[in-house]
Amino acid sequence: MKIAIVTETFLPSTDGIVTRLTACIDWLLDEGHEVRVIAPDLGVYEYNGIEVKGVPARTLPFYRSKKFALPNRRVIKYIREFHPDVVHVVNPALIGFSGVQAAKKLELPLIASYHTNVAQYMDYYRLSPFKGLIWWYFRKLHNQADINVCTSKTVQNELVEKRFKNVHVWKRGVDTEMFRPGNYNPHMRERLTAGKTDRKLLLFVGRLAAEKEIEKVRDVLESSDEFSLAIVGDGPHRRTLERHFDGTDTVFTGFMHGKELAEAYAAADVFVFPSTTETLGLVIGEAMASGLPLVAAKSGPTCEQIEDGRTGLLYDSEKEGDFTATVKKFEDDTLRKRLSVNAREDIASLGWSEAASQLLGWYEQVTGAIEEKEEPEEQQKLT
């Protein structure tokens, strides 16, 4: 099968979308399928032997730390040249608009996947009045697809309430070979703790943006001398965070990839995930695979991944001071060790093959390669 993937984000960017996408592409290639990626031109023109077609990218006034590709006629040109059997538009918004339009004009089967709750982000950028317009726009794009997929049951429920059609849940995955406790490196531990290796190391990994609510961790550092913090990643909020954590035991590393990132997870003691806006949070799986217990906001997507009191601790984001109180429970090292073992055991067999195989099934379904099959209850369209 020939698969054209149009995505708003791709390498060298690193986030949960890119991680999921590259893992599934690798599996599809191993199964003998042809893939072409159309993405913002960030200087990457090949991935694992496949061609990456770049579309001119630029920064936007409201988000200057990242480049985006606007709607562009090159998208339909690249798709027409490739002659795909199916088009998959990942997080359709800007370049994805052109992907949707191209698939419809060329009468090609279309899959659209939803990964980012942009409407909810509006609250963090003083743009709340535009939430209704954002939902209208994304619904209009997604409802042109033959199948829509998202990454959690909670998000599926929300999209169906917003009148998105034919919504299915795309299974989660994680590279359990890459991320594991055995990656522990004392030199990484020393780097992330700035030499204070006896401290319990809290770790955050992800895009540094206002909606991640990373600022909450400072209260932990100020109320207990048992913890230090490492923040792995970059983004538009980094300078603000550096000022906010000035004077605390906090290390900013910027982006990490591959083995280095895996060692960062394995060097830490507790993973912190304060955000309440995630549609899944693949870093949760990476942390669990690395043997890290978690502290995360109690929300639909986190409850689908973390068992409170067994693999991590969930805090109430509406309760003042509950994040700090919850993290400080890990002053008890017995609790940390017990949850660490459970976290790894809970996710050790996950991998990416089931998620990739599920995606291929949708491709085959919309192209008519197989007869439509009854899906598990969690993936059926809600009514």
Q: Kindly provide the b/e burial profile for residues 212-240, where b requires at least 16 CB atoms within 10 angstroms of the residue's own CB.
A: bbbebbbebbeeeeebbbbbbbbbbbbee
**Distance, CA of 374 to CA of 371 (rounded, Å):** 10
Do the Cβ atoms of 168 and 382 come closer than 8 Å? no
Q: For the chain, which residues make up each domain, given as ranges?
A: 2-173+352-379, 181-347
3-state secondary structure of 353: helix
So what's the pLDDT on residue 121?
Answer: 63
Structure confidence at residue 14 (pLDDT)? 79
CATH of domain 2-173+352-379: 3.40.50.2000
Q: Would 2-173+352-379 and 181-347 be classified into the same CATH topology?
A: yes
Looking at residue 231, the DSSP 8-state letter turns out to be: E
pLDDT in tens, the chain (383 residues): 999 999 999 998 878 899 999 999 999 999 999 999 999 999 999 999 999 999 999 998 766 778 999 999 999 999 999 999 999 999 999 999 999 999 999 999 999 999 988 776 676 666 778 889 999 999 999 999 999 999 999 999 999 999 999 999 999 999 999 999 999 999 999 999 999 999 999 999 998 988 899 999 999 999 999 999 999 999 889 999 999 999 999 999 999 989 999 999 999 999 999 988 776 788 999 999 999 999 999 988 889 899 999 999 999 999 999 999 999 999 999 999 999 999 999 998 899 999 999 999 999 999 996 544 444 444 444 43
Contacts with 307 (C-beta within 8 Å, 6 or more apart), sequence order:
342, 346
- Distance, CA of 278 to CA of 358 (rounded, Å): 22
The 10 Å CB-count burial string (b at 16+, else e) for 326-339 is bbbebeeeeebeeb
The fold of the 181-347 domain, in CATH, is Rossmann fold (3.40.50)
Tell if the pTM clears 0.75, that is, is over it.
yes
Please give the pLDDT value at position 283. Answer: 93
54-79 burial, b at 16+ Cβ within 10 Å, e below that, comes to bbebeeeeeeeebbbbebbebbbebb
| Per-residue pLDDT, 279 | 62
Task: Provide φ and ψ at 36, rounded to 5°.
Answer: -130, 135
